Amino acid sequence: HQHTGHSHARHKRQLVTASQLRDSYDFVVVGAGTSGLTVADRLSEAFPAKTVLVIEYGDLEYAPGAFEPPTLWEGTDYLAGSWEFFTQPSPVMNNKTAYVMVGKTVGGSSAVNGQFLDRGSQYDYNAWEDVYGKGGQGSNIKWNWKGLHQHFKKSVKFTKPSAADAEKYGYTWDVDAAYGGNTPIYASFPPFQWGDQKIFMSAYQELGLKTQKECAGGDKEGVCWVPTTAHPVTMKRSHSGLGHYSLVEGTRSNYDLLVKHQVTRVVYPPSPKAPKKNGKYHQPPLVEVKDVSSCSRLNITVKAEVIISAGAFNTPAILQRSGIGPRSFLKSANIPLVIDSPGVGANLQDHGGSPVTWNFNVPFDSSISPLPADVSDANATYYELAKSQIDQTPAQGPYTLGMGNSAVYVSLPHAAPTTYKNFVSKLRSLASPSSASILASYLPAGEDYASNAAMLAGYQSQLLTLAELFSNPEAPSTESPFASTSHPGHGPVSFAFLLHPLSRGTVHLNESDPLGQPILDYRAGSNPLDFSQHIAHLRYLRQLGSTPTFKKYAAVETSPGADVQTDEELIEYIKNSIVLSFQHPCCTAAMMPRDKGGVVGRDLKVHGAENLGGGLRVADMSIAPLLVGSHTSATAYAIGEKAADIIIKEWSTGKN
């Protein structure tokens, strides 16, 4: 593998078997994923005298990515290193089910994702802070854009494209605004774009969208170039398993990795015995682990902290198995209650949206080349050339592309200038105390959610914060990614997905198989205002059809299609066509105050654990209170960086 470059034999062990485990560890990180390996790398670097163990369910295989080479998704090989989830049907969406993949390998989802490395706008992260509110524990820790910017910068190393490529494709960037870090998680622009990329680019510009020079610097409303997570020379996937594990493998005698082991739960000893520190006992829980193949179990003793970084579905599952979760659900699952925390597995959000498709009736001229059809259809010569180009140094050709490098992000005031105010006022009134019973009816029924005062207060607070965001012309509410207009046999396809869904789903253990995949209920459309958003975004996207560029190619809209015009018709269309997951699940152990149904505080410590012995945090996409207006890996890396910073500060000053 191109990044490792050094022999393992010279160095001390790092990948350990169960029998090689030490008697105890200072830090245990659960899950070798995007955030988890970032945390483990930073802790083992900062504290050479403290031991760090990462426990990972999957294997150290550098999973062939779903998108590597991205245009060659053949067979099922791309599923190596992933779980596939099928959610419960969403009744409002004609019982549609979401299909969601999750990384199960060293590197987590960063090893299997689409390599599209964008960040949310500054308003997305400022919303996290607004939802939390003022004061309370850890109020010196800032999770707003200003407080996270340094972590975003540190988390990746950006490399400029060649001058020739920048000129050819029109790539733009601004290192000062967005980058400057040196971590070997690479953000690069590929030396290739499909010939028709510029068609969408010009059509969106004709709609009046501004072109942002740099979309990772806090402002991204408009047309954006987005880098790929790939090594700048080989253009092979860069992910946390390489950048935060392989590159330091064997160089740190305090950093161990145990693979093919499932963390089943964490267990607090019945009564704390460790000496009091700052008036509190500090005794982290034991970590209970199961060998995935032999099913044998072992317990790992932890001295400083357990950091759970198992991702938005498995983090709440581990907490629930540990008795940390919604009281009445745990009772029905026969799990003794340890901490009553209804937010564990609640607040599930993901990006979903419907497509708009067209047929171009005027063919492209020969300057619009090459096209995806050239590799996937009968052009054997181009296909062979493309396959050889990826192995050149530096790599060239279509297989250097991730899922694409361009997208538009549009705010509601720009997408729906005449209707957005009405939408925002409906949202505000829904969040007001007088509408509490209506709002509660949009949450899952029962005492864990709809009739739980904290959960309702948290939801109200989220909607008020989002009402501000939706009124802001610089805060995108929809994304439309575009890679190529001409997949063989089809015309152009574009999606409008909701960046800030209002419906909330759940993750629950499967009561008959608690160690198996948890049960996901997306509850898409359960807040009916989501349909108003979808409609506004689709109406906006359809306007592409009347741009000079689309007219030049005699574009005819094939879906929703000319006969779908009224709100009612669009709602039916959405129910039938929506893709419920763009693979960005989050928010299931949200960072919010406990009286808003939050699971962790700003210091990422699990609420309620301080009375049991402390030493328990969460650091991954599940801590986001609100989904951000971007694909989620860059945010997961930044969460890992910030979590590490918080933990390192505490253990350096002894204030834990």
Ligand X SMILES: Cc1cc2nc3c(=O)[nH]c(=O)nc-3n(C[C@H](O)[C@H](O)[C@H](O)COP(=O)(O)OP(=O)(O)OC[C@H]3O[C@@H](n4cnc5c(N)ncnc54)[C@H](O)[C@@H]3O)c2cc1C
Which lies closer to ligand X via its Cβ, residue 452 or residue 632?
A: 632
Decide if residue 57 touches ligand X (CB under 6 A).
yes
Q: Which of residues 257-276 bind ligand X (CB under 6 A)?
A: 262-263
Cβ-closest position to ligand X = 33
H helical segments located in 578-632: none
Q: Give the per-residue contact string, 15-34, with ligand X (x = CB under 6 A; - = no).
A: ---------------xxxxx
Decide if residue 634 touches ligand X (CB under 6 A).
yes
* From candidates 51, 109, 155, 547, binder to ligand X by CB under 6 A: 109
CB of 390 to ligand X, least distance (A): 19
Residue 52: beta bridge partners? 27, 255
* From candidates 357, 465, 471, 583, binder to ligand X by CB under 6 A: 583
Decide if residue 351 touches ligand X (CB under 6 A).
no
Q: Which two tokens stand for residue 251?
A: 């160089």
* The one-letter amino acid at 399: Y
Q: Report whether 419 contacts 536 (CB < 8 A).
A: yes
Question: What is the bridge-based pairing of β-strands 228-229 and 186-188?
Answer: antiparallel
**Preceding amide of 272 cis, omega within 30:** no
Decide if residue 316 touches ligand X (CB under 6 A).
no
Decide if residue 113 touches ligand X (CB under 6 A).
yes
* The one-letter amino acid at 568: E
H helical segments located in 543-629: 548-552, 567-577
CB of 398 to ligand X, least distance (A): 17
Question: How far is residue 2's CA from residue 265's CA, in Å, rounded to a whole number?
Answer: 36
* From candidates 178, 318, 466, 638, binder to ligand X by CB under 6 A: 318
Q: Which two tokens stand for residue 319?
A: 């907490």
Which lies closer to ligand X via its Cβ, residue 36 or residue 326?
A: 36
* From candidates 72, 178, 310, 541, binder to ligand X by CB under 6 A: 310
Q: Which of residues 360-419 bind ligand X (CB under 6 A)?
A: 403
Decide if residue 190 touches ligand X (CB under 6 A).
no
Residue 102 gets which letter from DSSP?
E
Pick from 15, 14, 18, 16: nearest CA to 295 = 18
Q: Could you tell me which stretch among 303-311, 421-429, 533-541, 568-576 binds ligand X (CB under 6 A)?
A: 303-311
Which lies closer to ligand X via its Cβ, residue 353 or residue 560?
A: 353
**Preceding amide of 501 cis, omega within 30:** no
Question: How far is residue 536's CA from residue 499's CA, in Å, rounded to a whole number?
Answer: 13
* From candidates 51, 90, 110, 122, binder to ligand X by CB under 6 A: 110
Decide if residue 199 touches ligand X (CB under 6 A).
no
**Preceding amide of 370 cis, omega within 30:** yes
Which lies closer to ligand X via its Cβ, residue 199 or residue 312?
A: 312
Decide if residue 79 touches ligand X (CB under 6 A).
no
Decide if residue 626 touches ligand X (CB under 6 A).
no
Q: Could you tell me which stretch among 54-62, 179-187, 332-340, 610-618 binds ligand X (CB under 6 A)?
A: 54-62
Q: Report whether 67 contacts 633 (CB < 8 A).
A: no
**Preceding amide of 69 cis, omega within 30:** yes
Decide if residue 632 touches ligand X (CB under 6 A).
yes
Question: How far is residue 452's CA from residue 607's CA, in Å, rounded to a whole number?
Answer: 17
* From candidates 40, 58, 408, 555, binder to ligand X by CB under 6 A: 58
CB of 58 to ligand X, least distance (A): 5
Strand, helix or coil for residue 331:
helix
Which lies closer to ligand X via its Cβ, residue 534 or residue 584?
A: 584
Which lies closer to ligand X via its Cβ, residue 413 or residue 640?
A: 640
Q: What is the crossing angle of helices 453-471 and 420-430, to 10°?
A: 160
Decide if residue 553 touches ligand X (CB under 6 A).
no
Question: How far is residue 656's CA from residue 392's CA, in Å, rounded to a whole number?
Answer: 51
CB of 571 to ligand X, least distance (A): 28
Strand, helix or coil for residue 214:
coil
* From candidates 25, 27, 52, 56, binder to ligand X by CB under 6 A: 56
Decide if residue 320 touches ligand X (CB under 6 A).
no
* From candidates 43, 72, 112, 401, binder to ligand X by CB under 6 A: 112
Q: Report whether 231 contacts 188 (CB < 8 A).
A: yes
Which lies closer to ligand X via its Cβ, residue 221 or residue 620?
A: 620
CB of 367 to ligand X, least distance (A): 29
CB of 583 to ligand X, least distance (A): 4
# residues near ligand X by CB under 6 A: 43
CB of 23 to ligand X, least distance (A): 21
Q: Report whether 158 contacts 187 (CB < 8 A).
A: yes
For the chain, the distance separating the N- and C-terminal CA atoms, rounded to the nearest angstrom, is 39
Question: How far is residue 638's CA from residue 154's CA, in Å, rounded to a whole number?
Answer: 8
Decide if residue 189 touches ligand X (CB under 6 A).
no
Q: What residue ranges in 296-364 does DSSP mark as E strands?
A: 297-308, 324-325, 339-340, 353-360
Applying CB under 6 A, the residues found at the interface with ligand X are 30-36, 55-58, 66, 101-104, 108-110, 112-117, 262-263, 309-312, 314, 318, 403, 583-584, 620-621, 631-634, 636
